Structure 1
């Protein structure tokens, strides 16, 4: 047995204690979200356990243990002098306010699906088979929409679309837009609300997500200008689209080049393909950071298995980087590929024929 550096070992074990605490706290976050505890504390007023138990309809003894754990994680605030608990404005934005740009609960639901589906991924590791998106636990679909929606709300209309040459003007005047891989339709509906003169079509191969998207469009009051259809990225109908968007999904496709070829066939002559992908550098060493840790983990458990379950099975992964994405676009027959803008979590590319 090799002799360890005891100081390095202590440092690693200390970090692991934090990681285990984060994993445990994540399960409690999902629990608190499902039971409505965070939302019941959203006003920030310090509240006792008995009062909060009455307000949420849960048993006080369970609630006190949950609150204590969340206070130890610094996810809620404990007031020792009054034995009460509250949410700071920052904690409320992250855990209680669904439309906040910092809302983070969806990420924990995505992680929940990783734990639940681990046996399927372990089997895929042994056999080489993929695990399709539709084969995952349903918390993945809800969590993905809730995780990505705050970023879309903050950046899509305000920054990403204006960064594309001439696209915002078309959308304001009235354009024909396809959102491929739309999931629950958050991005499609957001664009429809921002650009009432345009028409939007959302496509996804996952039928339950399309059903959710249709209900969401009705609730948002845009169903007259938005249609959702079940279809793959290589077969969605229509042509002459002024813009075709793919949000955080191209890397999940088994044949992204084939999907790009279909985009080229269905775009208008002067149309734009907008690709939004997880932020990544081109080389592994540059992605060894907290964001890369999250994305590589999700890619291992969700994105790469999804791609390997399909024809071709290119397996780009969620940290593909600009060079690999550029090659996909060029191989699909496009000649113009430009990084239009970026955030700490996303890269936005403008692609044209």
Structure 2
């Protein structure tokens, strides 16, 4: 295929799409970092603030906070006032990026991107040689899943999800036996167990690590 054979408009549009994917992936990594070190939570609480103030409140190194803020400003997640040298996390953005956002918090899901990157070389190897990546290699999977599950279940499970099944709340209140197959860290059944003490809940998962987390929480 020669240059003359290309639809230049289509080529340009696809180039923009690929560039957007690359920029979005880089932003996702920085959002994951911001979640892990609670920078979104800090900025949501403090309002417009300087790099120095944000670093002090978050207890983080100023150099890294400055670089992170630059990335977040470029991604249009954080707003920068060049006249006052202040950074702001808009309330509408905080409503989807902070721990107080509950199940709307999208920043915690960004942690899956670096998690998958950890096993990229192994995945490439298995593309060429067959086989698969052991579950144990996804080292932070259970911690991320537990955090995501807690955000959803704490807000929605008892008052929104369970009532979708007619009569289920009454049955749980009276006392029934419930099995959660693939329970992960068990937060859902622990929430139900605390709410419906007359029922018996059993969590089943092939991950010993996840079961230990569930037992500790219960």
TM-score normalised per structure 2:
0.87
Show structure 1 runs of 5+ residues with no match.
Answer: 218-222, 224-353
Task: Flag the structure with higher strand content.
Answer: 1
Corresponding residue number in structure 1 for 2:30: 28
Separation in structure 2 between the aligned mates of residue 4 and residue 153 of structure 1, nearest angstrom: 53
Separation in structure 2 between the aligned mates of residue 29 and residue 124 of structure 1, nearest angstrom: 29
Quick one: structure 1 residues 55 and 125, their matched pair in 2 at CA, closer, same or farther if it must change by over 3 Å? same
Show structure 2 runs of 5+ residues with no match.
Answer: none
Residue deviations 1:166-224 (CA, integer Å, cap 9, x gap): 32221122222222211122222232243233222222211122222223x2xxxxx3x
Separation in structure 2 between the aligned mates of residue 164 and residue 18 of structure 1, nearest angstrom: 42
Equivalent residue runs for 1:281-296 within 5 Å: none
Residue deviations 1:39-78 (CA, integer Å, cap 9, x gap): 2223151111111122223232321121121122122232
CA apart distance, 1:124:
2.3
Corresponding residue number in structure 2 for 1:7: 9
Equivalent residue runs for 1:248-287 within 5 Å: none
1:133 aligns with 2:114: no
Task: Flag the structure with higher helix content.
Answer: 2
Residue deviations 1:210-268 (CA, integer Å, cap 9, x gap): 222223x2xxxxx3xxxxxxxxxxxxxxxxxxxxxxxxxxxxxxxxxxxxxxxxxxxxx
TM-score normalised per structure 1:
0.56
Corresponding residue number in structure 2 for 1:168: 169
Separation in structure 1 between the aligned mates of residue 149 and residue 11 of structure 2, nearest angstrom: 36
Separation in structure 2 between the aligned mates of residue 99 and residue 190 of structure 1, nearest angstrom: 19
Residue deviations 1:14-38 (CA, integer Å, cap 9, x gap): 1122111111111112222232322
Corresponding residue number in structure 2 for 1:205: 206
Give the aligned length: 216
CA apart distance, 1:116:
0.9
1:182 aligns with 2:190: no
Quick one: structure 1 residues 37 and 119, their matched pair in 2 at CA, closer, same or farther if it must change by over 3 Å? same
Contact 2:35–2:108 (CA under 8 A) maintained in structure 1: no
Residue deviations 1:251-300 (CA, integer Å, cap 9, x gap): xxxxxxxxxxxxxxxxxxxxxxxxxxxxxxxxxxxxxxxxxxxxxxxxxx
2:164 is paired with a residue of what secondary structure?
Answer: coil
Equivalent residue runs for 1:97-246 within 5 Å: 97=99, 100-136=102-138, 138-215=139-216, 217=217, 223=218
CA apart distance, 1:98:
5.2
Separation in structure 1 between the aligned mates of residue 214 and residue 82 of structure 2, nearest angstrom: 45
Residue deviations 1:89-133 (CA, integer Å, cap 9, x gap): 232232222561211223111121111111222222223313232
Contact 1:106–1:142 (CA under 8 A) maintained in structure 2: no
